[in-house]
């Protein structure tokens, strides 16, 4: 659950971070900055601030804003109604991003799994992305990611995004946030 005041603060923080990195957005986009609190009540540790520019039945473009060491929990984008699932390319714009996908586990991963959620992180093949580097995640592939110490901005280019169909390893995750007045 997210208090309306916290939502507003995080939206403003996301806007500031984009601006600091030279990413200009319109007033309409500003009002559409989303905070994925995920129902875990620790958005600063596990969550995401995002701005969707476009999401049609063919493609999607977003900015993912991660606070320092913030983690987007492990999940996959499964097939939906004959579609193979979302394929997405992450392009790091600023900061460091530690992306984990299926494959041989990295011996000493850089990211730290959030305390209390260790049972819900199962893939540890590490891809490190710095500014200008990118990686494409195939559909229906388990993955999670975490920002480095300074946070990160990642541009995501993908096939259609169906966030409500995402499957998270952690059964506590609620993809659509609940906002409460304060």
pLDDT digits (tens, 9 = 90+) for 13-60: 999 999 999 999 999 999 999 999 999 999 999 999 999 999 999 999
Check: CB of residue 153 under 8 Å from CB of residue 18: yes
Query: For residue range 57-85, what is the model confidence (pLDDT) as tens digits?
Result: 999 999 999 999 999 999 999 999 999 99
pTM above 0.85, yes or no: yes
Report how far residue 54's alpha carbon sits from residue 63's, in angstroms, rounded to the nearest whole number.
11
CA pair distance 179, 168, nearest whole angstrom = 21
Token pair recorded at residue 102 = 């299926």
User: Could you give the percent of the chain with pLDDT greater than 90?
Assistant: 92
CATH dotted code for 2-180: 2.60.120.10
**Cβ-based burial of 132 (10 A; exposed 0-12, middle 13-18, buried ≥19):** exposed
CB 173 within 8 A of CB 38: yes
Average pLDDT over all residues of the chain? 96
Between strands 2-3 and 179-180, the pairing is parallel
Domain regions of the chain by residue span:
2-180
DSSP 164: G
């Amino acid at each position: 659950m997210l208090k309306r005041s916290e939502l507003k603060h995080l939206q403003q923080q996301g806007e500031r971070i984009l601006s600091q990195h030279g990413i200009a957005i319109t007033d309409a986009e500003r009002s559409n900055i989303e905070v994925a609190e995920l129902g875990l009540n620790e958005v600063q540790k596990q969550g995401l601030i995002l701005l969707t520019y476009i999401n049609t039945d063919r493609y999607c473009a977003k900015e993912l804003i991660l606070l320092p060491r913030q983690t987007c929990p492990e999940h996959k984008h499964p097939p939906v109604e004959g579609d193979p699932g979302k394929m997405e390319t992450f392009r790091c714009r600023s900061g460091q991003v530690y992306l984990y996908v299926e494959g041989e586990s990295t011996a000493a991963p850089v990211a730290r799994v959030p305390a209390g959620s260790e049972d819900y992180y199962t893939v540890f093949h590490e891809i490190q992305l710095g500014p200008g580097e990118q990686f494409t995640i195939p559909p229906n592939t388990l993955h999670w990611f975490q920002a480095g110490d300074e946070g990160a901005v990642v541009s995501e280019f993908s096939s259609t995004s169906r966030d409500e169909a995402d499957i998270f390893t952690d059964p506590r995750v609620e993809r659509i946030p609940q906002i409460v007045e304060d």
